[in-house]
Amino acid sequence: MNDSANKFLLSMLLAIKESDTPLSSEEKENLYIAGQQLSLDPTAWEEDIQPSLMEIINNNPSLNTVFQNINSKLEKIDEMPQDLILNTEDVKTVTPTEENQPLERPIPDVDMSDLESNEITNAAIQIISSPEPSETVQKISKFDKLMNLIGQD
């Protein structure tokens, strides 16, 4: 995936975190489906996955407003500081596991060989595939740091 796709995913995750309106069960289900698609076929990004995610965003006015604002700020950043790049380890610490609570649906396994090149994508897959993406994204401290960075414009 390219830098533009990564910025889109980060914008979407930050918008979910910052939006005042909670995600509906239908939005959560559609995010889960998009996460599964992204996990199974990342090459379908432009023709299937991004349009599906855009539809979710566009159909939620609060989420759309926050997304557009964050996305325009992220697009201005040439290179993301390495310490702010989200990875699957950040997500694993906040996603529910079977030991501490039963899941309604499994979080997809991310191929560890993809981590270096697709850290943001893999983390996004885990977050949007979690039972409560809004709650999961709230727990990731790197998002607060990233919001501080883009808020400095």
Instruction: Please state whether the predicted TM-score (pTM) of the whole model is above 0.85.
Output: no
Residue ranges making up the domain that contains 118: 3-150
Walk along the chain (153 residues) and give the pLDDT tens digit of each residue.
578 898 999 999 999 999 989 999 999 999 999 999 999 999 999 999 999 999 999 999 999 999 999 999 998 888 877 777 776 777 777 765 544 444 455 555 545 444 445 788 888 999 999 999 999 999 988 888 888 888 854
Domain count, the chain: 1
Residues 6+ apart with CB under 8 A from 79: none
Residue 2 Cα distances to 7, 147, 148, angstroms: 9, 21, 24
In the chain, the amino acid numbered 101 is: Q
